[in-house]
Amino acid sequence: MNPVTSASALSGLRPQGCTNLKLRQLMRRVTQHYDAEVGKSGLKGTQYSLLSYVLKLGPIRPGDLAREMMVDASTLTRNLKPMVAAGWLALAPGGDGRSRLVSITDAGRQKRAEAQRRWRVAQEGLNQLLGSDRVLALHALMDEALERLSPVPGVHDE
């Protein structure tokens, strides 16, 4: 079905099945696709994202980074530890005695550049597998859904 005409062709149908399950299944497949390629750099997809965010926004306080990445603070802390241990990210004192700042190291920049080349291969592969029109339609649908679905109070993203 053409992604442009699919919405009108489906307008009279009632959704069947669990949207949450379908999204989780799709996310697992997409994650496997990216991890298979980005993993060749020695990074997980989540680690590549973390390096990319810190490169773009850093030095940044961990709480601000968690908000930008839309992850729970404890999830971010857990993900930061191996990245700091590997020497790709650094934690330094912030503006006051209680705050810290996360920044990317030179080794982290190099690792991210390597992973970015792999990420591009994964993205192009997904574009070929699904078709560019479908990927564009999927992005538009996801962006619209994210705008319409406000966060549930008391529930944190991971």
Q: What is the pLDDT of residues 107-126, one digit of tens each?
A: 999 999 999 999 999 999 99
Token digits for 96?
């006051």
pLDDT, position 147: 87
Handedness of CA 108, 114, 118, 120 (dihedral sign): positive
Secondary structure element (H or E) that encloses residue 86, with its range: none
Answer for the pair 125, 40: CB distance below 8 angstroms, yes or no: no
pTM as predicted: 0.77
On average, the pLDDT of the chain sits at 89
Short-list 75, 53, 57, 44, CA closest to 156? 75
Short-list 64, 37, 39, 53, CA closest to 89? 53
On the question of pLDDT at 145 being above 80, the answer is yes
Q: Which residue has the higher pLDDT, 89 or 8?
A: 89
Q: What is the DSSP letter of 96?
A: S
pLDDT, position 94: 79
pLDDT, position 93: 87
